[in-house]
Amino acid sequence: MNFYSQPIEKIFSGFKTSKEGPLKKEVKKRVEEFGENVLQSEEKKSYLAAYIKQYTQFFAVLLEIAALLSLVADYYVPGEGSDILSYAIICAVVINATFSFWQEYKADKAMEALLKLMPTIVKVKREGKVIEVDSKEIVVGDILMLEEGDKIAADGVLFESSSLYINISSLNGESKPSKRENEPKNAKTPLEAKNMVFAGTTVISGSGTAVVIATGQATEFGKIASLTKNVEKTVTPIQKEIMRITHILTIIAILMGIVFFALGLMSEKGFLMASIFALSLIVANVPEGMLPTITLALSMASQRMARRNALIKNLDSVQTLGSATVICTDKTGTLTKNEMTAKALYLSSGEHIEITGSGYFESGTFIYKEGQDDFQKVKKFLTFAAVNTHALIEEDKTVGDPTELAIVAASKKAQIEVKNIEKIEEFPFTSERKMMSTFAKIGGEEVLCSKGAPEIILDLCSSYLNETGKVEAIKEEARKKFADEALAFEKRAFRVLAVAFKNGNREERDLTFAGFVAIMDLPRPEVKEALAKCKSAGIRTMMITGDNPHTAEAVARDIELDYDKVYTGDMVEEISEEKLAEELKEQNIIFSRMSSNQKLKIAMALQNNGEVVAMTGDGVNDAPALKKADIGVAMGRSGTEVAKEAADMILLDDNFSSIVAAIEEGRTVYYNIKKFVTYILASNVPEIIPYILQFFFKIPLPLSVIQILSIDLGTDMFPGVALGSEKPEKNIMKQAPVGKYDKIMDWEVFKRGYFFLGLIEATASMVAFISFLLLHGWEYGQVDLADPYLHRQAMTMTLLGAVSCQMLNVWTIRSWEFPAWSVGFLSNKLLLIAMVVEGTWIWMLLNWEPAQKVFNTAHVPLSELWILLPFPILLFVSHELYKYRRRVKVAKIKSEK
């Protein structure tokens, strides 16, 4: 037998207490035994440790070693600029670490939000006296004294109650006040037991006395908190990818460093020279600006998303959005407007009337079927309905229950002013009665108006208003017809309310049936288009709603949401996780009558299928599912603080189409990162090749390490950031989602970056360097130039060879597939600014002495820069041809399929 089904005396004896509460000395023991009535909070994260951790990442360690070696080199061979180089490398490490730390700074505050819901001072009875204690001192066996407005401190079983209603939305998402009694009423679970009250919930009205049976972490609320706390967040794709890219490039850098260090030793260059040479190659291989650029790209994307009403809490989530394959969305407020609208009336005299205008503020009219135009009948009917409301619609604000607001809005369309009607007595709505009545003076006559569930009202009616407007007794046939009309509305996803009246008498029986009002939460107009977008983008959408299956299906049909099956919460509860995963593999399922805690099961089943899941939610109970989903999406308007804290993304307008917009941005970010990784890798090649050539051939050093840093952290950074802010490409939502296992740095990126664009840039740099030297009288074999100024000029030419190519590379790489001109030359303002910055930077390297000193560059006359001209053009044209060939190939594959 469940404990809540036991007689209260047995519960008292089990918990060694009584109606008078426990003994005070017993309380102390119980605190020691069961602990304080608090939730275990997450251990605080040390931000300092998190920041220091950034300096232990692969790239960072590599650069730190490089900086150290430079300092050592400067100690043994001073005056060669190695000290400046080491400071520059340290600067690069600090920039990297600071930006990366920023990502992790967003701490998870879900537990704190949960703690905020717990009360502080509560009334309990101990040794027969009612006292006020700190909620953390509550123990099992304490007697809780509950009053209106109280936040309940622990789980308890009621033994006294008077019209007690509590709000248990924090546990089950159900916003309707839940009546509490002294009997459990056939409950299967504690949450269903009517004689239980729960920690973290609030007393809406009435009063009660309960014996505490669980405290702290052991309460139902504590368990949810524990679920939220103990969900392990999976590694986001971008984290994995950054790790992978870092590893690949580090391995390449170290291998190259080791090989050339060994070769250096063998070629009798000496230990120090060989070390410096290896160090230069390592620095050349590390794309210093890449990690901060990725962070910046993600950060800019999150700002763009915020402008589209999707607030991203965790930067990593931006890219995960691009991989989303399934959206599990709530219905109310997300797919629909969460504004109930009376859309149709059925009068007992047989008229069907449609009502135009949606929401509470839009004006509208009544559309009658031919020959049925009788506004007075409609007005009378809506007056009976509207008398039974307390809702208010004023200029720009509404007060009251959404269903009542819908009736008030409809009555306004019929120019009825409810406030002018004198109400004499009210018989309130209760969940047991499922109806309410108001005895009022309407047009000088005293009338009892009733409104409620169709089956209840019809049962109380003995007559109806016929076609002639006269009262006529209901025969079985007519009763059945009315019931069928109600059912037909329900099947079309309407919420149906029956309206009846009675003249001069307040008794709620022998009523005259007046008709039905059909109310609906209308779909958001933009949802259809968003769903179509999802479909073409290969994203499945599944609706999860607390509504009944009929309503869920009707809404799905209305918004053209594809589905194969409808499941109820009970079915989800019964089915195993494996079976659910199997079902979800191929089929789109609508989940109806769902409670929030079943969402977690769906999220896990989908994830087991390898899906990347975006899940929406608003209640406290949604928090575990939001945390578990790859992208937890909380509702900004209707969501609880806990849901918002647990989510990765908050929808500022609660709108489904904002999720789709965010996914579009996520995909854009993925391709943008791909573009600038390719862009950055391309400039690595002209940084590496000069060293390799200098090693094998008798030529002077074409590029210094500090010049490499000037490219990576100077000329490449701004265009790279600009690439991160590129707008979505035109086919972005017509492609399949970015696969969970698709890599940013795939063979295509390597091929384009290193072996295609990079080689052209390396050729440009070396041709510029050698031809400049030859034009100034250099002969092959002269490794040490007599004129250092000439050497600096030649190195500047190498630098400019790479930079000039990168300047056009950035324009052609803007689109991964389409021609550069199709994107629009002025569409990315940041890129135009980056070009100006880059131009200024080059000018400084060529003409400004302090910059020349630091970066070892020199002035090169404009007349000698012509050598550089053909290569950027060659790079641009050949990359456009490459993309054209790729487009043809893709089109061919598609047509073959």
Partner 1 sequence: MKVITMLNGSLSSEAVAFYALKFCKVHDFELELLHIKNKKDSIASVENSMETVETLAKAMEVKTVRKFFGGFNEREFIRHVETGYVDTIFSSSRAKKSLFKDSFSEKIVKLSLDCDIAVVRVVNLSMVNNVDAILLPIQEARLSAGKFSLFATMAKTYEAEAEIYSITLTSRKELAKEGLEETKKRLLKIDTKLSHYKKLANLAQFPYKIKHAYSLDEMKQILHHGVRKKSGLIIFGAKRYSFFSIFNLKRFMIEKLMKETPINLIAYYPKSER
Q: Which of residues 696-755 bind partner 1 (CB under 8 A)?
A: none
Contacts with 841 (C-beta within 8 Å, 6 or more apart), sequence order = 714, 715
φ, ψ of residue 846 to 5 degrees: the values are -85, -30
Contacts with 742 (C-beta within 8 Å, 6 or more apart), sequence order = 323
Residue 32 or 422 with smaller CB distance to partner 1: 32
Does 40 contact partner 1 by CB under 8 A? yes
- Closest approach, Cβ 436 to partner 1, in A, equals 37
Q: Any idea of the CA torsion for 123, 126, 130, 136, to the nearest 10 degrees? A: -20
Q: Is 268 helix (H, G, I), strand (E, B) or coil?
A: coil
Does 230 contact partner 1 by CB under 8 A? yes
Please identify which residue in 213, 493, 680, 723 interacts with partner 1, judged by CB under 8 A.
213
Please identify which residue in 167, 205, 207, 226 interacts with partner 1, judged by CB under 8 A.
226
Please report the sign of the dihedral spanned by the C-alpha atoms of residue 832, residue 838, residue 842, residue 848.
Answer: positive
- 8 A C-beta contact, residue 388 and residue 451: yes
Residue 235 or 877 with smaller CB distance to partner 1: 235
φ, ψ of residue 800 to 5 degrees: the values are -65, -30
- Closest approach, Cβ 625 to partner 1, in A, equals 11
Please report the sign of the dihedral spanned by the C-alpha atoms of residue 335, residue 339, residue 343, residue 349.
Answer: positive
- Closest approach, Cβ 142 to partner 1, in A, equals 13
Residue 223 or 479 with smaller CB distance to partner 1: 223
Please identify which residue in 8, 18, 19, 31 interacts with partner 1, judged by CB under 8 A.
31
Closest CA to 744 of 816, 809, 689, 806: 816
Helix-, strand-, coil-residue percentages of the chain, each rounded to 5: 50, 20, 30
Question: Tokens 């265009």 sit at which residue?
Answer: 719
Part of the chain binding partner 1 (CB under 8 A), chosen from 223-231, 384-392, 399-407, 844-852: 223-231
Does 240 contact partner 1 by CB under 8 A? yes
- Closest approach, Cβ 36 to partner 1, in A, equals 8
Part of the chain binding partner 1 (CB under 8 A), chosen from 31-39, 306-314, 353-361, 687-695: 31-39
- Closest approach, Cβ 28 to partner 1, in A, equals 10
- Closest approach, Cβ 34 to partner 1, in A, equals 6
Report CA 283 to chain centroid distance, whole Å. 38
* Token pair listed for 548: 């009944």
Contacts with 32 (C-beta within 8 Å, 6 or more apart), sequence order = none
Report how far residue 468's alpha carbon sits from residue 475's, in angstroms, rounded to the nearest whole number: 17
- Closest approach, Cβ 237 to partner 1, in A, equals 9
- Closest approach, Cβ 667 to partner 1, in A, equals 21
* Token pair listed for 714: 């100077």
The per-residue b/e assignment along 777-813, b for 16 or more CB within 10 angstroms, e otherwise, is ebeeeeeebeeeebbbbbbbbbbbbbbbbbbbbbbbb
Binding string, residues 603-632; x marks residues near partner 1 by CB under 8 A? ---------------------x--------
Binding string, residues 106-145; x marks residues near partner 1 by CB under 8 A? ----------------------------------xx----
Does 194 contact partner 1 by CB under 8 A? no
Q: At how many degrees (to 10) do helices 717-724 and 290-307 cross?
A: 30
- Closest approach, Cβ 797 to partner 1, in A, equals 44
Does 222 contact partner 1 by CB under 8 A? yes
Residue 237 or 292 with smaller CB distance to partner 1: 237
- 8 A C-beta contact, residue 121 and residue 135: yes
Residue 234 or 771 with smaller CB distance to partner 1: 234
Closest CA to 519 of 386, 418, 387, 630: 386
Does 542 contact partner 1 by CB under 8 A? no
Does 2 contact partner 1 by CB under 8 A? yes
CB-count exposure of residue 440 (10 Å: 0-12, 13-18, 19+): buried
Closest CA to 538 of 322, 748, 741, 730: 322
Residue 240 or 423 with smaller CB distance to partner 1: 240
Report how far residue 220's alpha carbon sits from residue 155's, in angstroms, rounded to the nearest whole number: 7
Catalytic residue annotation: 330
Question: Tokens 């630098």 sit at which residue?
Answer: 799
Part of the chain binding partner 1 (CB under 8 A), chosen from 83-91, 232-240, 302-310, 486-494: 232-240
CB atoms within 10 A of CB 752: 24
Residue 220 or 648 with smaller CB distance to partner 1: 220
Part of the chain binding partner 1 (CB under 8 A), chosen from 28-36, 161-169, 197-205, 524-532: 28-36
Amino acid letter, 616: T
Residue 38 or 453 with smaller CB distance to partner 1: 38
Report how far residue 116's alpha carbon sits from residue 741's, in angstroms, rounded to the nearest whole number: 40
Does 491 contact partner 1 by CB under 8 A? no
- Closest approach, Cβ 239 to partner 1, in A, equals 8
Does 92 contact partner 1 by CB under 8 A? no
Report how far residue 738's alpha carbon sits from residue 558's, in angstroms, rounded to the nearest whole number: 29
Report how far residue 152's alpha carbon sits from residue 139's, in angstroms, rounded to the nearest whole number: 13
Report how far residue 437's alpha carbon sits from residue 448's, in angstroms, rounded to the nearest whole number: 7
Q: Which of residues 574-603 bind partner 1 (CB under 8 A)?
A: 600
Q: Is 847 helix (H, G, I), strand (E, B) or coil?
A: helix
- Closest approach, Cβ 630 to partner 1, in A, equals 14
Residue 34 or 101 with smaller CB distance to partner 1: 34
Report how far residue 81's alpha carbon sits from residue 84's, in angstroms, rounded to the nearest whole number: 5
How many residues contact partner 1, by CB under 8 A? 39
Part of the chain binding partner 1 (CB under 8 A), chosen from 210-218, 564-572, 764-772, 783-791: 210-218
Residue 36 or 374 with smaller CB distance to partner 1: 36
CB atoms within 10 A of CB 230: 10
Residue 8 or 833 with smaller CB distance to partner 1: 8
Report how far residue 66's alpha carbon sits from residue 261's, in angstroms, rounded to the nearest whole number: 14
Report CA 815 to chain centroid distance, whole Å. 27
Part of the chain binding partner 1 (CB under 8 A), chosen from 211-219, 283-291, 390-398, 858-866: 211-219
Part of the chain binding partner 1 (CB under 8 A), chosen from 123-131, 231-239, 380-388, 688-696: 231-239
Please identify which residue in 27, 218, 465, 845 interacts with partner 1, judged by CB under 8 A.
218
Please identify which residue in 30, 337, 380, 675 interacts with partner 1, judged by CB under 8 A.
30
Part of the chain binding partner 1 (CB under 8 A), chosen from 9-17, 125-133, 403-411, 885-893: 9-17
Residue 2 or 822 with smaller CB distance to partner 1: 2
Q: Kindly give the residue spans of alpha helices, DSSP state H, lying in 189-270.
A: 220-230, 237-266
Binding interface with partner 1 (CB under 8 A): 1-4, 14-16, 29-36, 40, 140-141, 190, 213-214, 216-219, 222-223, 226-227, 229-232, 234-235, 240, 243, 600, 624
